[in-house]
Structure 1
């Protein structure tokens, strides 16, 4: 089925700026990058870590602003970043042929060629490659922070870590300082988040306008991708769109199923959008042409009630345990198929903290407290075991000193909402 990408633009231009994303041109990205790097260094200091070596491409981008083949580098240790706590160095070890990509980044003090310590790159010589990688990193670390220093590291293969441990450093996991740093957003970061959300709302508006019976899930889902990329977003992290009976249980990925008449169609955006910031909200639509039935409205009403109740709890100083105790009580008939979290942190992707349901807190939860500057996504999935359909809703929220501020503004389905 051929789609005309522009035929329906006028219909949504007055409502959701279908074709135009007014990205805030006043955002100073150098200020954003400087804040993030200092946040990370402050957390390194708090955990007594002299230097960190980062491989996760999202963490590399957070600490330096350097972006390069994010998905490829999520599964290949082909580039990494060395950051010292004392401001002496931010060294980007870049992928072959890409040394020029960070030329304009004021956060990066030096770019060096990376040593890719993977079996794909080294074959049966992988052990030697890992030893070469460790020797090079150890030499630089010794020069910058001295022998025996505490060094944070994440997402590298075990052999490379074992080789580096032989040089006398005290190796720790870098996840804690980087996740703690990412949890609190600056005013400029919030502007980036809002721009990413607005672009994604435009994309979802386009998808909703094209939704009709007879279209496949994949064809519908592709509209979101096209609109995100056209507005300078990065990529869509999942493919969570389903229709009809495939909406229950949740987490069934978009497929070739043809959307039928009068079915629910549910999606979770999971967009790494403008400036690399995550736009994460969920909506459930009705395919028409008739009005939704009573069962569909009942499911939607429960999900709508859950997210609105829980959003109101997001106040600075509230502990994660208190949140779990006060959160919306999931009715027994929906409990088994509940979403695995009540809410979660969000920034440049899903992040710390995870907020668990009351019933799951004892086995999975952990305590902490909400802080102004955290951005959180409040989740709901409502569907009975063996039921025909389910409803997925989600809102993205900023915790402020005076309470929660809604960030995701895409409208709820008028024919379904209470």
Structure 2
């Protein structure tokens, strides 16, 4: 309710109100150094004046605003004008915690597009393909289906799967290699599909070590997914979660769970041994979506396994949004 002020970051010349919704359209003053150069200070003062006018006009006497990200000179200019800046990132992260039915539908669409691209990756996975060539299949498939972008290059093969977080390279994948990846993509409608799988390349039977690592990761994911339900606290969830065995614990993934929506989101829940007085607690609620993470690789070992699922918290427990099958040869 009430007036709406619409800003366009670069210019407003092309904006007009044809709906009756927008009460006021005014040009934004960009003071990114890319556009402002040595005139940045002058443009910051002009920008601050415009914000002060809006606060006076629409703030009802309130001199506080919330901004998700702002450079220091902007904060200083607003303070000079008697306007205090709060943390808009915290406001938005909490607003994004509970997904609406439309948001869940859009997220499902993103995951469907992601998993279709994963199928094309798996079909292309043959000995002799490079990690970069295989990763490109995910990019191509995402864009072809209306997706937007991919924020990491987390695909590795063979000995590069241990430790985790090595970006894809020109390495050629060999017969019998494990190939592990994390999609981390923004798909159609701007929603994140954050899934991980580990595949066996070629026709060579898996080794006992490969099977063992995969079984540990799959069991951890299954156990921790079963714990997800409304009403459980973050701390209780972490305390009851399965963790890697001792010889894999030093190379563990950084978190057990994290929120997901338009990108990776709050909350981020660590292993129980990493929980400190600085770790925020909370309670799972219907409409939250979390990713369940597992990386299993022995300290000093040759290979590792990465699996991740995307899970919706509902009224009775949870529903798995990700559906791409695990590599049955490794089970």
TM-score where L is the length of structure 2 = 0.95
The gaps in structure 2 that reach 5 residues or longer are none
The two structures, once aligned, show a CA RMSD in angstroms of: 1.9
Task: Count how many residue pairs are aligned between Structure 1 and Structure 2.
Answer: 331
Match for residue 6 of structure 2 among 82, 87, 91: 91
Report 1:391-410 matches (<5 A).
391-410=305-324
Question: Larger deviation: 397-406 or 104-113?
Answer: 104-113
The gaps in structure 1 that reach 5 residues or longer are 1-85
Match for residue 58 of structure 2 among 114, 124, 144: 144
Q: Does 1:341 align with 2:255?
A: yes
Q: CA offset at residue 98 of structure 1? A: 8.1
Distance across 2 between alignment mates of 1:386 and 1:98? 60
Q: CA offset at residue 170 of structure 1? A: 2.6
Distance across 2 between alignment mates of 1:182 and 1:106? 27
Question: Larger deviation: 117-126 or 408-417?
Answer: 117-126
Distance across 2 between alignment mates of 1:326 and 1:90? 48
Distance across 2 between alignment mates of 1:361 and 1:193? 30
Corresponding residue number in structure 2 for 1:208: 122
Q: CA offset at residue 106 of structure 1? A: 8.8
Corresponding residue number in structure 1 for 2:269: 355
Match for residue 210 of structure 2 among 288, 296, 299: 296
Distance across 1 between alignment mates of 2:14 and 2:264? 29
Question: Larger deviation: 139-148 or 226-235?
Answer: 139-148
Corresponding residue number in structure 2 for 1:233: 147
Q: Is the 8 A contact 1:90 1:107 kept in 2?
A: no
Match for residue 157 of structure 1 among 68, 71, 74: 71
Q: Does 1:382 align with 2:296?
A: yes
C-alpha spacing 1:148/1:103, structure 2 compared with 1 (3 Å): closer
Question: Deviation string for 1:19-64 (max 9, x for gaps)?
Answer: xxxxxxxxxxxxxxxxxxxxxxxxxxxxxxxxxxxxxxxxxxxxxx
Q: CA offset at residue 108 of structure 1? A: 6.0
Corresponding residue number in structure 2 for 1:312: 226
Report 1:34-113 matches (<5 A).
87-96=2-11, 99-100=14-15, 110-113=24-27
Question: Deviation string for 1:363-395 (max 9, x for gaps)?
Answer: 552200000000100000111121111111000
Q: CA offset at residue 290 of structure 1? A: 0.6
Q: Is the 8 A contact 2:4 2:21 kept in 1?
A: no
C-alpha spacing 1:217/1:383, structure 2 compared with 1 (3 Å): same
C-alpha spacing 1:403/1:87, structure 2 compared with 1 (3 Å): farther
Q: Is the 8 A contact 1:92 1:108 kept in 2?
A: no
